[in-house]
Structure 1
Amino acid sequence: MHLSLRSRRPSAAVAASAALALLAAACTGTSSTGESDLSASGKDVTITFWHGWSQGRETKAINDNITAFEKLHPNIHVKAVGNIADDKAEQALRAGGPGTPDVVSSFTTANVGKFCSSKVWTDLGPLLKRDGIDPAKTFSPAMLKYTQYEGNQCSLPLLGDVFGLYYNKTAFAAAGITAPPKTFSEFDADAMKLTITAGDTYKQLGFMPTFHGYENTPSGFLAQYGATYFGTDGKSNIASDPKVAAMYAWQKGLVAKLGGYDKLEKYRTTFGDEFSTKNPFETGQVAMAFDGEWRTASLAEDKVAFEWATAPFPVPDDQAATYGRGYQSGTIMGIARTSQKQAAAWEFVKYVTTDTDALVTFANAIHNVPSTMASLDSPKLDSGPAFRTFLEIAKNPYSNTTPATINGNAYQASMLTLGYDIESGRQPDLRQGLANTAKEINAAISQAK
């Protein structure tokens, strides 16, 4: 499951952060692993689990995992409530009381900083240590990174999304291209070879480079550069990190090479819904796409009229040795700090996030990437060649994600807005745009504290 940041704006993220700050102040309950947690003494206890999955295949998969957990822990019963958005969970945690969930999962990794800093989720670090679980040896490095904030391990990864390159092998053969590109210079050259114009539009576009192009985001592309976003002082370093400027310059250059912003955007209006058979990669309107592992299932089910394959997304020419890396995000899971059933909640969280069979079964059912190193190597994992690409990206030590901040994905939204302005020409001065955006990011973080 992937949740885009496109529906969020910096102001909304700052407001959400402020709400969580109030939430932290309002939380007066205390967690308990003692007498009030009946499961610790083997007595029956029911925990409430809120999650965001809503499709039939997804809810069946999570319910199957719950059934397997309850067989292992007969005295712990899990009441699952699906289709819960983050804002509803936040409101419930703020209000407290008997209706508050014990365990919560979220598709928005950007919210980890808010959950950890406001202490609405329990720090799981002591529980991991007590049970002999070394997070660094257990979880995929990038996935572990997005589940903690300033030393607080308030969440754990539960499956993930990994991004790579999808390419039309039939179109590649017609253009005389024999292998997927590994560097951005190769990628640009292939995108141009694959582009077939038709007057003021296209018969086929090699790649849609604009930031309105579905999964294209600054954070997705910057993972190929290894950007860090923030310095050791906690302030945005996007104006001083040459990798960030290089990414925006590359993307802007590719827009120009493929016909210019106006022509590309006009063509983009002919695309269908991203999550349908009218997706432009499925229809053959674009020959290459930046997308997540879930697309493999859609392409197989929809039986597209061409051969296709996957590969890691290219990297900058001066970082060719890092080829194989990619951007990662995913689902996070935590325990409400005010839950009076911490022991039972932890047993459930530990099971679904660290048990290899549970993760593999879940990953196979919903076509996401499992989040532990053991599950990535499990022979029970359904991993044809196309999906295996994403497993290898997940294991790659150079793979990257976006760091947690106190105000969620506000900085990512600011960088996306800058991308819109640069590619369209509204901001002709890249350096000035980066400087202004860095100031905006720092001001928003200061306001949220």
Structure 2
Amino acid sequence: MPRIRPAKALAATAAIALATAACTGTPDAPKASDDATKDTTIIFWYGWSAPSEVAAIEADVKAFEAAHPNIHVKAVGNINDDKIKQALRAGGPNAPDVVSSFSSANVGAFCKSNVLTDLKPFLDKSGIDLDKTFPKAIQDYTQYQGKRCTLPLLADTYGLHYNKDAFRAAGITAPPKTFSEFEAVAKKLTKPTADGYTQLGFMPNFHGYTSTLLLYGYQFGLKYFDDQGKANASRDPRFTQLFTTQKKLVDELGGYAKLEKYRTTFGDQYGAKNPLHTGQVAMSFDGEWRAGMAKEAGIKFDLGVAPMPVPDDQADTYGRGGLSGTIVGIASTSQKQNAAWELVKFITTDTDAVVNFANAIHNVPSTLDALKSPKFATDPAMSVFLDVAQNKDSISPPATPNGDAYLLTLQDVGYRYESGTIKDLPAALKKADEQIDKDIAQTR
């Protein structure tokens, strides 16, 4: 799980994707001619840095080396995307053979610029059937325009975390399934004071950690681009439905200014003082890792988890969500691509390897077999996320050659609309579409 806040994550991946997609002179991918049965050493870069995460990676690598005693792996952690981008462009003997990135938003840029090699020949050679191996949404976010230059290395999805004690005190017997139910529950759980709250049902503002456009968008089933690849926000009525639903909730829970003032009292998103942990909010959208963090923080209430709500006119999609996650690929400059493939294949498709890693870092397994494995340490909270990951209506954000830039543009509309700065939402969405199309055209 990337330990960065959503707004910062969007900005970082957009900038990196723009730089990667814009690079020229990338060398042609060398043919995979190395003998993977000979003694060799490959370099693997990854982003995890916490001691428990590093230990989990090292255990995965150790298991791989036991199964492939001739292939030695030099694993290097705490590598950010900017350094990966530079190394992929430069190549050389010290460059990585295998890289992983926390951001699936980078896939479009990585694939388009050919800095990661096409994995289809390797998949075909190994007889791996994607449809029998990975959920569809996970397949979607690891390819760009039919080119698969990455595979998934665990997944993230999101759900509604809620304070069961607060629910019982308010006489609420079940988590809300639709946004009209969610609005009613959020209002019932809110205890305002003159200048704040003793308890807020939900922080709806787009700056409220994971109450982002992206997460709301998963539930509304937004179609960001039409079939011709043109930005679609001004023509898909679900965008207007999302923004007006969110704005109504902001207004009914006290208004933008009051909510923003209250938000400044929140502790760190990934720390013990997260507002859900402290009881400042009674409900939160968050990832599969939240239950474990809440337990570590020593919360004094009973925490519940359920799928996030859906629009009332899409009630039959309840249980859906969004998926993204860590991606892994082979550097196109690597002279050891066959050996590198053996590592990529092992960590992404070996059921025990995927399950053990998911258990260690509390993420969602990324293969169908691992999702069903009896070795996966499920609990009632995690089972919700496993169901979301396999739900037929779950989606992933579309890949573009400039990463999450389109989300930044649309989220800016959200910031200004919820605050009351934007009065004409249709005009703002049309202008956003024009900007998104212009930004993508500049990367071609």
Report if the CA contact (8 A) 1:238-1:434 is conserved.
Answer: yes
Q: How does 1:120-159 map onto structure 2 within 5 Å?
A: 120-159=115-154
Q: Which residue of 2 aligns with 1:19?
A: 19
Partners of 2:270 and 2:438 in 1: CA distance: 36
Distance 1:214 1:442, change over 3 A: same
Aligned with residue 427 of structure 1, among 422, 435, 438: 422
Q: Which residue of 1 aligns with 2:336?
A: 341
Q: Which residue of 2 aligns with 1:172?
A: 167
Partners of 1:447 and 1:14 in 2: CA distance: 13
AA in 2 matched with 1:152 = K
Q: How does 1:87-102 map onto structure 2 within 5 Å?
A: 87-102=82-97
Deviation at 1:411, TM superposition (A): 0.5
Q: Which residue of 2 aligns with 1:388?
A: 383
Distance 1:274 1:4, change over 3 A: closer
Could you report, residue by residue, the CA deviation over 1:72-127 in whole angstroms, capped at 9, with x for unpaired residues? Answer: 00100110011111111111111121121100000011010000000110111121
Report if the CA contact (8 A) 1:32-1:339 is conserved.
Answer: no
Q: How does 1:75-224 map onto structure 2 within 5 Å?
A: 75-224=70-219
Could you report, residue by residue, the CA deviation over 1:232-280 in whole angstroms, capped at 9, with x for unpaired residues? Answer: 1111111100111111110001001101001111111111111111100
Q: How does 1:394-409 map onto structure 2 within 5 Å?
A: 394-409=389-404
Give the SS at the match of 1:160.
coil
AA in 1 matched with 2:32 = T
Give the SS at the match of 2:397.
coil
Partners of 2:274 and 2:443 in 1: CA distance: 38
Give the SS at the match of 2:324.
strand
Report if the CA contact (8 A) 1:5-1:409 is conserved.
Answer: no
Deviation at 1:14, TM superposition (A): 6.4
Deviation at 1:9, TM superposition (A): 6.6
Deviation at 1:5, TM superposition (A): 4.3
Q: Which residue of 2 aligns with 1:31?
A: 30
Distance 1:186 1:198, change over 3 A: same
Question: 1:278 and 2:273 equivalent?
Answer: yes
Distance 1:30 1:117, change over 3 A: closer
Question: 1:6 and 2:7 equivalent?
Answer: yes
Distance 1:425 1:271, change over 3 A: same
Aligned with residue 332 of structure 1, among 304, 308, 327: 327
Deviation at 1:440, TM superposition (A): 0.8
Deviation at 1:301, TM superposition (A): 1.8
Deviation at 1:17, TM superposition (A): 4.1
Partners of 1:443 and 1:115 in 2: CA distance: 20
Deviation at 1:206, TM superposition (A): 0.3
Report if the CA contact (8 A) 1:14-1:444 is conserved.
Answer: no
Give the SS at the match of 1:161.
coil
Structure 2: segments with no counterpart, 5+ residues: none
Report if the CA contact (8 A) 2:5-2:269 is conserved.
Answer: no
Aligned with residue 363 of structure 2, among 357, 362, 368: 368
Q: Which residue of 1 aligns with 2:303?
A: 308
TM-score (norm 2): 0.97
AA in 2 matched with 1:111 = N
Report if the CA contact (8 A) 1:294-1:368 is conserved.
Answer: yes
Give the SS at the match of 1:221.
helix
Give the SS at the match of 1:286.
coil
Deviation at 1:20, TM superposition (A): 1.9
Q: Give the fraction of aligned pairs with identical amino acids, expressed as a percent.
A: 55
AA in 2 matched with 1:247 = L
Distance 1:5 1:443, change over 3 A: farther
Structure 1: segments with no counterpart, 5+ residues: none
Deviation at 1:8, TM superposition (A): 5.7
TM-score (norm 1): 0.96
Deviation at 1:181, TM superposition (A): 0.3
Q: Which residue of 2 aligns with 1:47?
A: 42
Question: 1:412 and 2:413 equivalent?
Answer: no
Partners of 2:321 and 2:22 in 1: CA distance: 36
Partners of 2:440 and 2:302 in 1: CA distance: 46
Q: Which residue of 2 aligns with 1:253?
A: 248
Partners of 2:260 and 2:5 in 1: CA distance: 20
Partners of 1:9 and 1:176 in 2: CA distance: 38
The ranges of structure 1 where at least 4 consecutive aligned residues each deviate by more than 4 angstroms after the TM superposition are 12-15
Report if the CA contact (8 A) 1:172-1:178 is conserved.
Answer: yes
Deviation at 1:217, TM superposition (A): 1.2
AA in 2 matched with 1:79 = K
Report if the CA contact (8 A) 1:14-1:448 is conserved.
Answer: no
Give the SS at the match of 1:448.
coil
Distance 1:328 1:83, change over 3 A: same
Q: Which residue of 2 aligns with 1:441?
A: 436
Could you report, residue by residue, the CA deviation over 1:47-74 in whole angstroms, capped at 9, with x for unpaired residues? Answer: 0001100000000001100000000001
Q: Which residue of 2 aligns with 1:295?
A: 290
Deviation at 1:26, TM superposition (A): 2.5
AA in 2 matched with 1:38 = D
RMSD of the TM alignment (CA)?
A: 1.3
Distance 1:160 1:9, change over 3 A: closer
Report if the CA contact (8 A) 1:27-1:338 is conserved.
Answer: no
